[in-house]
Amino acid sequence: MFQIGDYIIYRNTGVCQVVQIGIPENFSILDSDVQYYFLEPLRGSGVIYIPVNSTVFMRPVISKEQAMELIASIPTIPEQPDYTKDQKALHEHYKTLLQSHDCTALIQLIKNIHKKSAVLTAKGKNAGKTDLQYKKQAETLLHEELSIALGIPVEEVPAYIRSQIENTSLA
C-alpha cells in the first residue's frame, strides 16, 4: 500500500503524488467502505480517485540509485528502429512499449525513434507523425519519473542525462 506523500506511476498518466487516502466525501455513489488513493498528477491539474485495492497499474517511482544506474545504461540499450509502413502496427508496437511502464523500454523507444528520424533526415525525409507523437510521450513519462527520482526540475533532466553520459564516456 502506498503512503501519503509517495510518488507513483499511475497507468499512462505518469507521475502522481498520493495526497490523501480515504473515502471521497463528494462521491455519493461510492461504497463507503472502500478506501481510495487521492492522486495529484505531476502534469496537469485535478485529483484522480482510485480504489486502494484496484488492479490498474500503479508502481512506486524508481529510486535515485535506480535512476543513476538507468542513465549509465543508456549507451548500452540497443537501437532497433521499426521501419514498418503499417501505421496501425507501428502504433500498436509503440503503445505496447509505453504501456510496459518500464523506463528501459521508454529509453529504447526514444532511441529507436531518434535513430529512425536521423536515418530518414539523411535521406531527405521527415519523421512520421506517429513516431514524433510517441517519442514525445515517452520522453515526458521518462523525464517526469527521473525528475522525481533525482530531485531535479523536469526541464533539467535532458541536460542532466547528457552530462552523465558524457562523463561516463570520458572516464
Q: Which amino acid is present at 171?
A: A
Tell me phi and psi for residue 71, to 5 degrees. -60, -40
CA angle 13, 15, 21 (to 5 degrees): 95
Tell me phi and psi for residue 134, to 5 degrees. -75, -35
- What is the pTM for the complete model shown? 0.90
From first to last of its 171 residues, what are the pLDDT tens digits of the chain? 999 999 999 998 999 999 999 988 776 665 567 899 999 999 888 999 999 999 999 999 999 999 999 999 999 999 888 888 888 998 999 999 999 999 999 999 999 999 999 999 999 999 889 999 999 999 999 999 999 999 999 999 999 999 998 887 655
Sequence length of the chain is: 171
Residue that the C-alpha cell 501519503 belongs to: 4
The three cell numbers of residue 34 are 472502500
For residues 27 and 31, give the distance between their C-alpha atoms in angstroms, rounded to a whole number.
Answer: 9
